[in-house]
Amino acid sequence: MNASVFCCEQAEVRLTSASGEKTILQGIDLNIGRGEFLCMVGGSGTGKTTLLRALGGFCAPTGGAVFYEGAAFSGPPAGVVTVFQDYGNALLPWRTVRGNVALGIEEQVSGAALDDRIDAALAMVGLQQAAREYPAKLSGGMQQRLQIARALALQPKVLLMDEPFGALDAMTKAKLQDQLRHIQASTGATIVFITHDVDEAVYLGDRVILLAGSPGRIASELRPALPATRDQISTKEMPEYLHARHELLERLHGAAR
């Protein structure tokens, strides 16, 4: 019985850009377990986004293999939903909050069942009050919550998130981090989460992987020894947290040198 959701074997991704073909990722060996919260950190240009896009079915590996539930795939696999960093481009401005959440499920369910699914997704991110608003009327944090709710409405097995909180202020970010941990605990979803923020990676992740180099590879990984339920204040004062943070920062700076 294979417990891993995603499995990369010596995966390599080459992309063609204006300056010719470039190898972005090389020799990626990675297993992502069911229900795991995996954070990816690394400097710019180390291929974090490309790796996430390969998992999300937006770019196929040019070498090696990437499997989802044991099978190779082209295009986003069923049960895997990507949440993008630029929520402004990802939301539909002509649909209300409810309409946006309905987008992915309105073909499959209808009537009261549809309403229930939308309500449940909105409740998970705390957006019930804004259900009838248009996205343009919402703050950045609320718009990103809306995008997460739209993904959650599909009841995904895996959420792939590319720096979802990158553009948000510290307070909003902390609140959304807690909500996301909570959502993962209640839905059992696997989450792969890219961030630039070392604190965020250690606080959120069951495991943190560090990408480095060009072409990017997995330089090291780390499992913060933290309890499943985390708290913005007490968790961040725990010696284990500080140790993991110290370790990760050191490796990050070591990798950059």
Partner 1 sequence: MTPRLPQTRQWLLPAALLVAWQLAATAQEGPSILPSPVEIGQTLLETLVSGRLPADALHTFAAAIASWVICLLIGIPLGMALGSAERLRVALSLFIELLRPLPAVALIPLAILVFGFSWQTEITVTVFASVWPLILASRSGIERLHPRILEVVSTLHLRRWHALRCVITPAAFRQILVGAKLSFSLCLVVSVVAEMVGNPAGLGWGLVSAQEAMRASETFAYLFAIGILGVCANCALDFAVKHLFPGLAQGN
17-25, 70-78, 198-206, 244-252 -> range binding partner 1 (CB under 8 A)? 70-78
**Under 8 Å between Cβ of 6 and 68:** yes
39-47, 78-86, 123-131, 172-180 -> range binding partner 1 (CB under 8 A)? 78-86
Residue from 5, 90, 121, 168 in contact with partner 1 (CB under 8 A): 90
Residue from 3, 65, 72, 92 in contact with partner 1 (CB under 8 A): 92
CB nearer to partner 1: give 187 or 220. 187
Does 110 engage in binding with partner 1 (CB under 8 A)?
Answer: no
Burial class (CB in 10 A: 0-12, 13-18, 19+), 9: middle
246: its two tokens: 């110290």
Please, which of residues 111-170 interact with partner 1 by CB under 8 A? 134-136, 150-151, 154
Residue from 37, 84, 165, 193 in contact with partner 1 (CB under 8 A): 84
- Helices and strands of the chain, counted as H and E runs: 8, 10
Q: Is the peptide bond before 227 cis (omega within 30 degrees of 0)?
A: no
Q: Cβ contacts of residue 217 below 8 Å, gap of 6+? A: 25, 26, 27, 28, 211
32: its two tokens: 């992502």
By rule CB under 8 A, what count of residues binds partner 1?
A: 29
Any bridge partners for residue 212, and if so which? 217
Does 241 engage in binding with partner 1 (CB under 8 A)?
Answer: no
Residue from 14, 95, 207, 243 in contact with partner 1 (CB under 8 A): 95
Q: Strands of 190-194's sheet, edge to edge?
A: 80-83, 158-162, 190-194, 37-42, 207-212, 217-222
Does 73 engage in binding with partner 1 (CB under 8 A)?
Answer: no
Binding site for partner 1 (CB under 8 A): 56-58, 75-76, 78, 80-82, 84, 86, 89-90, 92-96, 99, 103-104, 106-107, 134-136, 150-151, 154
